[in-house]
Amino acid sequence: MWLYPEVRTMGEFIEYHARHTPDRRALVYGQRNISFAEYDRAANRIANALVARRIGPGDRIGFLGLNSPDFYFSLIASAKTRGAFTVFNWRLAAGELAQLIADSRASVVLVERSMETLWNEAIAIAGHAPAAIWFDEADSIEAQCAHYPDTRPDLFISEEDIAVQLYTSGTTGVPKGVMLSHGGFNRMRLCEHLEPAYEWVDGDIFINPLPNFHLLSIGIAFQCLYNGVAISVVRQFDPGLVCEAIQRDRPTLVTLTPTMLQMLLDHPRAADTDFTSIRLTLYAGSPISLGLIKRAIVRMPGKFMQFYGATEAGGAFSILRPDEHDLDNEAKLQSCGRPLPLIEFRIVDAQGNELGIDEPGELLIRTPSITTGYWNQPEATAKVLRHGWYHTGDVARRDAEGLYYIVDRLKDMIVSGGENIYCAEVENVLSTHPEIATVAVIGVPDARWGEAVMACIIRHPGGTVTEPEVIAHARTALAGYKVPKRVVFMESFPLIPSGKISKKDLRAPYWEAHGRSVA
């Protein structure tokens, strides 16, 4: 049943490949190719350096920096120490970062020199000052630890030890530290291994430009490395850099958020980029608009697979398989697919009653990989983990074929005149207009209806679509009460660090003007 029955913890799958295929490529960084044997030795040296600093069971080992080999080495090194690798979001303001530093109580943090000003400002606010290990390209963590033994520390790692702690995006309230165990990650690999849609081909290479503080990056990285797939490391997401790496490294696999996919296709270099090496594009992180996925399928020749997951799961809950991506079946393109093996879905109403076909309600999920809880937040943990089920906060429905559809977030749903309006439904219709590049629908205060639908729109370059034209387009496919009452045109949208549109920030000016806070 298990692909590698002897692998129990995150450090052990690198060791497995280092023993069985030591020369196999694990990481690609510019002109450098790093084998699994080299990877394992570097991780062991860093692990021994951390143990020498008296890092013990449950200690938080922080990381603040861009994507690099040092990040990947440290990720696995931490897994060999019984510490929990805690990745900090380098896009935050100093005050926001200070909250995470204080909450994590990290013992030591690996800090990239380019983040020095941010780090010092955050530490001054946090009231907690972890030891900092500074590094950069010229003075890497790998080089600093070169004199330590290259054998793994003599420690027993429990499957229930916390391997990684990631902070939620913070779209509402203060971010929460999601604790993910070695056993949870390993059981996620089992769910994937039992899923026939996942195919791994000898020589596969995955290009990873995703932010390392996000589960989308770490989850896919673990999945690829577990299956012996090399990772092309891109420092950060920049459409031009991604195009350059695709031309240079000829990756076969890529994962992007819908926002990143849009930015990639819109970039001038995309017109001259050869995407033919990519046999599979995975997309996740937020719902994708109908217009964007249709455009991507036409532009990129490989297969597409959507997955739906959450930080709390350590990976995917469900996938829309490549053979279900059909340009002639637009409705199916909006599905998040079916649950992976060993994962169960339920859709319930506010009283917890199970709902039937095409009845929208909250999606509850039972998975063997679920988080052990939120760090130091037992009440928040109890709110989402009840009787073995994870309460997602997503509104979903199931069709007669057994496909699931994420209708909206509960908090994003608009209630106008007593009618429930799902933003995603309106966004999908508007996204098909040829002059609309990106759209985000929000609810704004309305004296008569309580809330009114407003569409925030970024036009395609050269687009001249007007508010009346947008409203007329919406009327062709939506009931009158769902049609936007207002349309605003914008040059860009506020984003949270994971690349999702921050609807909280879009809503804020309208609700705060009425003396109400925004969730």
146 falls within a domain = yes
The pairing of beta strand 162-167 with beta strand 84-87: parallel
Do both 338 and 485 map to the same domain? no
Per-residue confidence (pLDDT) for residue 171, from 0 to 100: 46
Do both 91 and 223 map to the same domain? yes
HEC per residue, 424-488: HHHHHHHHCCCCEEEEEEEEEEECCCEEEEEEEEEECCCCCCCHHHHHHHHHCCCCHHHCCCEEE
- Going by pLDDT thresholds of 50, 70 and 90, the confidence category of residue 295 is confident
Per-residue confidence (pLDDT) for residue 259, from 0 to 100: 78
Per-residue confidence (pLDDT) for residue 497, from 0 to 100: 59
CATH classification of the domain holding 433: 3.30.300.30
Containing domain of residue 178, as a range? 10-342
Q: Give residue-wise pLDDT tens across range 407-417.
A: 877 677 787 86
Sequence-ordered strand ranges (E) for 322-372: 338-339, 344-348, 361-366
> From CA 397, how far away is CA 403, in angstroms rounded?
8
| Number of residues that this document lists for the chain | 519
Q: How many domains does the chain have?
A: 2
Do both 325 and 469 map to the same domain? no
Do both 336 and 199 map to the same domain? yes
pLDDT at residue 450 is higher than 80? no
pLDDT at residue 194 is higher than 70? yes
- Going by pLDDT thresholds of 50, 70 and 90, the confidence category of residue 185 is very high
For the segment 251-273, the average pLDDT, to the nearest whole number, is: 90
pTM exceeds 0.95, yes or no: no
For the segment 48-52, the average pLDDT, to the nearest whole number, is: 97
Do both 338 and 418 map to the same domain? no
> From CA 26, how far away is CA 401, in angstroms rounded?
39
359 falls within a domain = no
pLDDT at residue 83 is higher than 60? yes
The answer to whether 362 and 410 are in contact (CB under 8 A) is yes
Do both 338 and 427 map to the same domain? no
The answer to whether 495 and 506 are in contact (CB under 8 A) is no
Closest alpha carbon to 301 in 329, 277, 270: 277
Q: What is the DSSP letter of 495?
A: B
403 falls within a domain = no
Sequence-ordered strand ranges (E) for 251-291: 253-256, 280-283
Per-residue confidence (pLDDT) for residue 476, from 0 to 100: 87
Range with lowest mean pLDDT among 5-14, 201-210, 447-456: 447-456
Range with lowest mean pLDDT among 127-141, 221-235, 488-502: 488-502
For the segment 339-356, the average pLDDT, to the nearest whole number, is: 95
> From CA 336, how far away is CA 329, in angstroms rounded?
14
For the segment 463-474, the average pLDDT, to the nearest whole number, is: 94
Q: Give residue-wise pLDDT tens across range 129-179.
A: 999 999 999 999 999 999 999 999 999 999 999 999 999 865 445 679 999
Do both 508 and 421 map to the same domain? yes
For the segment 197-212, the average pLDDT, to the nearest whole number, is: 93
pLDDT at residue 30 is higher than 60? yes
For the segment 507-516, the average pLDDT, to the nearest whole number, is: 75
Give residues with Cβ within 8 angstroms of 54, minimum separation 6: none
Do both 430 and 338 map to the same domain? no
- Going by pLDDT thresholds of 50, 70 and 90, the confidence category of residue 123 is very high
CATH classification of the domain holding 285: 3.40.50.12780
422 falls within a domain = yes
136 falls within a domain = yes
Which of 311, 342, 373 is the C-terminal boundary of a domain?
342
Do both 337 and 422 map to the same domain? no
120 falls within a domain = yes
For the segment 342-360, the average pLDDT, to the nearest whole number, is: 94
pLDDT at residue 106 is higher than 80? yes
Per-residue confidence (pLDDT) for residue 172, from 0 to 100: 46
The answer to whether 497 and 214 are in contact (CB under 8 A) is yes
Do both 422 and 290 map to the same domain? no
426 falls within a domain = yes
**Helices and strands in the chain, H and E counts:** 16, 26
Which of 321, 342, 363 is the C-terminal boundary of a domain?
342
Do both 197 and 277 map to the same domain? yes
Per-residue confidence (pLDDT) for residue 472, from 0 to 100: 95
Which of 318, 342, 366 is the C-terminal boundary of a domain?
342
For the segment 378-406, the average pLDDT, to the nearest whole number, is: 93
- Give me the percent of the chain exceeding a pLDDT of 70: 96
Give residues with Cβ within 8 angstroms of 30, minimum separation 6: none
pLDDT at residue 327 is higher than 60? yes
472 falls within a domain = yes
Do both 454 and 331 map to the same domain? no
For the segment 379-394, the average pLDDT, to the nearest whole number, is: 93
